[in-house]
Structure 1
Amino acid sequence: MLMSINGIMSGVNHSLNTLNKVQSAQSSSVQKIATGSKYPSASYGPSDYAIIQRTYSNIGAVAQSNSNTQTANSMLSTAAGAVNETVNSLSSLRSTLLEAANGTNGNTDLAALQKSVEQTISSIDDNASVTYNGKKLLDGSQSITVAGADGYNTVSLGNMTSQGLGLTDSEGKSTIDLTDASSISAALDKVDSALNAATDQATNIGAAQQGLTYQSSNYTTQEENLVATAETMDSADIAKESVNLASSNTQEQAALWAIKQGMQSLSQQSAGALGGLNNHSRGAAVGMLM
């Protein structure tokens, strides 16, 4: 009888061990299916988990770098539009000065042309007052720092105000005078210099935008490659884990059935061994064995 009880207990213990293993496998499959990851935590593989987490961190850094680059390019587009308007205004101003230089103009004509000059200079200041997110872009105080995963890139913006371009003095008074031929000649030199400065600024912004566009394209490619790498390393095989889970569920039911049968057999064996006891004592003894 003792051997029979020991045998039953051995079978029950084996079934309990099997149940523990099966339930652990169930938990693993459920977590992988829920997260879509082969390595939901470091316990699934410390080195692989660490590599994957670094990859995800790099993906985030590259994505943010790309966003920074695109935002900076948007800011530069705003500045570029204003500078282009200033180039157009300066070209128009140069034409006005050439018209004023013509010897056929009388005083009234020159006065009208002077007024046109003042309006054009005012429009140049309007262009220079352009803002992006509350920041003035073309008053000489602004530079754009683009933070990226591979370092920092700074784009400086010049002073495109009428004073910065030499068209007005420190008090905001026009330095363009159409009084006589010599003053008009000096004014033409100032406008040519301002036009060169504005054109250089437009060229610099354009070059910076080209660089940022190229950089954004590189970041996009990097992100795509990193995401593909992460998916290859970390994506769980959902179909496989679903099969594993179904198999574990079946094994769990079998283990539970075996444990139940073993406990019933143990109860019967124990009851037979204690047959000589009264009902109350026999019940207490079987309860202790159970």
Structure 2
Amino acid sequence: MAITLGNNLIQHSTLNRINHTSNNLARQISSGTKHPSAVFGPSAYAIDMRMNANIAAVSQSDANSQRTNAMLKTAEGGVSSSVEALGQLQQTLLNAANGTNSDSDRRDLGKMVDQTIATLNDNAGIQYNGMNLLDGSKSANVASLDGSTSITNLGDMRSSALGLTDANGKSTLNLGTDAGIADALDKVTTALNKTLDQATTIGAAQQRLNYQSANFVTQEENLMAASTTSNGTDMAKAASEFKNNDTQQKLFLFAQKAQMNTMASHYSALALLR
């Protein structure tokens, strides 16, 4: 708060200047910037604010990239499980294609098919933040300052989309004959290849997102370095100036007090002479 002493305009102006400088230095130190408001330089302030906005946008873009990658990692888990289940079924069917299966073997094989189909549909129902990932309805995108970038589309990994069940969820694999087992092996192999394609597509998208995130981090670091150079307060210098200004203020107030005491003594002496 500015302190006014008497009606001496020069003294009042000096004290205002000291207080104003102290207030400005305090704002620069507390904010860490040379231009905490447009009062400190409209053009420089506008440049700094745009740079800060860009830094925030790049940081958010990186966060978006990482969230999309997390979503793909969730989808990857479901697809990997389906690949494993189909691989095991393919191996079993290949063994069964020898033509040495008893009726009991075929019944056991049918149970494995049912179990694999259930696993595929469970995996296809996997969700991220309440959204289905592997039913063909989801795509992976990253929103950034330059717009939304499409990363990849997630395919339909349900048993029906893989050709292993019909529209009613009934298995399309006929295990009653050797010819039926051979046909089932072809269908499972096709489903496995489709699932593997999805797994490699997701892996490539994750790799792309890792590179993208690294680029965002580099951009943010460069922007922050530039902002610090152009707008960052030299804390040591500002603290020294603030201390020096505070000393000036104390000396000024001390001098004013001494002057007032001198004047009071002078008036008292005059009063006695009268």
Where does the alignment leave 5 or more consecutive residues of structure 1 unmatched?
1-8, 280-290
| Residue 192 (structure 2) pairs with residue 188 (structure 1) | no
2:138 aligned to which of 138, 142, 158: 142
Kept in 2: contact 1:96–1:117 (CA 8 A): no
Of 47, 51, 54, the residue aligned with 1:55 is: 51
Q: CA deviation at 1:35?
A: 1.6
2:216 is aligned to 219
SS in 1 for 2:167: coil
Match of 1:17 among 13, 19, 26: 13
| Structure 2 match to 1:204 | 201
In 2, the alpha carbon distance for the partners of 1:175 and 1:233 equals 68
SS in 2 for 1:175: coil
CA distance, structure 2, for counterparts of residue 219 and residue 16 of structure 1: 53
Q: Deviation digits for residues 93-117 of structure 1, max 9, x if unmatched?
A: 1112212221221222222212222
Aligned length: 268
Task: Give the counterpart of 1:91 among 87, 95, 116.
Answer: 87
Residue 181 of structure 1 and its aligned partner are, at CA, apart by 2.6
State the shift of 1:258 in Å. Answer: 4.9
TM-score by length of 2: 0.88
Which residues of structure 2 form unaligned runs of 5+?
A: 1-5
What percentage of aligned pairs have identical amino acids? 45
Quickly say closer, same or farther: Cα 1:261–1:114, change in 2 above 3 A. closer
Q: Normalised by the size of structure 1, how large is the TM-score?
A: 0.83
Please give the secondary structure, in 1, of the residue aligned with 2:143. Answer: strand
What value does the CA root-mean-square deviation take over the aligned residues? Answer: 2.6
- Aligned structure 1 segments of 4 or more residues deviating by more than 3 angstroms: 253-275
Contact 1:61–1:149 (CA under 8 A) maintained in structure 2: yes
The one-letter code matched in structure 1 to 2:117 is: I
Q: Distance in 2 between matches of 1:48 and 1:99?
A: 75
Shift of 1:184: 2.0
Question: Following the alignment from structure 1 to structure 2, what is the Cα–Cα distance between the partners of residues 99 and 257?
Answer: 102
Structure number, greater radius of gyration: 1
Match of 2:109 among 104, 109, 113: 113
Which residue, out of 231, 246, 257, partners 1:234? 231
Q: Do the aligned residues in 2 keep the contact of 1:70 with 1:212 (CA within 8 Å)?
A: yes
